[in-house]
Structure 1
Amino acid sequence: MNKVDYAKVSSDNIKFLLIKNNMSIRQLAEKIGVAPTTLNDSLKSKKGVAIDSLIKIADCFNLTVNDLCNSSLIELENTSKSDIMFINKFSLLDSHGRDIVSLIIDKELERIMNET
């Protein structure tokens, strides 16, 4: 039986929700009343996000703590592991970086569409 790493699962789910809801770590941190650096460090930590913060984050996204710790949250969205990794990297960018990456993606999609 495989042991579930709930800290990693919840961190991945939170990062996914940030992207899905076009929200920054800073915005979420402000909503739940913690310092952005604290939340960012917690998302990267092997210990994960503190339970009191998980409760507030779950409330923020109208979920339960169980939802945040359940690996099926991302699986329900039919998101591949490589997509999740991209989303996690994208979430670390500031708004300028996100704009640049979005512009590149839009240009590449336009190029692909024109080739067909």
Structure 2
Amino acid sequence: MPQALCRLGRLHLHRVAAWRDPTPRQLPPPVRRPGGEAEDTDVSGSLSPFKRPKLGKWLTSKADEFDVIIAAKMDRLTRRSMHFNELLEWAQQNGKFIVCVEEGFDLSTPQGKMMARMTAVFAEAE
């Protein structure tokens, strides 16, 4: 059985199953251990995730304490497409998964990344 991942998020999931038509290679191992929570209330969504008071701390100095970032919606992570791209690149370079439950994109595929980036552009326009 794969090693359980440590998550950073506000949702309590026992298994990451937010992708559409998942195949075993697309799903990360089960998420069972809570790593922590980062809730930046009253902070603009246009601020870079790395500069937010709580989330930024996790991304810059506590990255070894979690494996998965779970957000209810993509626009809870950021409302700027540039910031989403930075976060996605950071996650890939650091071996992290990003799960946006409502959208359900598989960010391990080129198509999933493309759809997520397009959604980030629309979130910015709102």
Whether these two folds match at TM > 0.5 is no
Bigger proportion of residues as strand: 2
Bigger proportion of residues as helix: 1
Q: Provide the TM-score with structure 2 as the length reference.
A: 0.23
Q: Provide the TM-score with structure 1 as the length reference.
A: 0.24
**Higher relative contact order, chain-length normalized (CA < 8 Å, sep 6+):** 1
Look at both structures and tell me which one has the larger radius of gyration over its CA atoms. 1
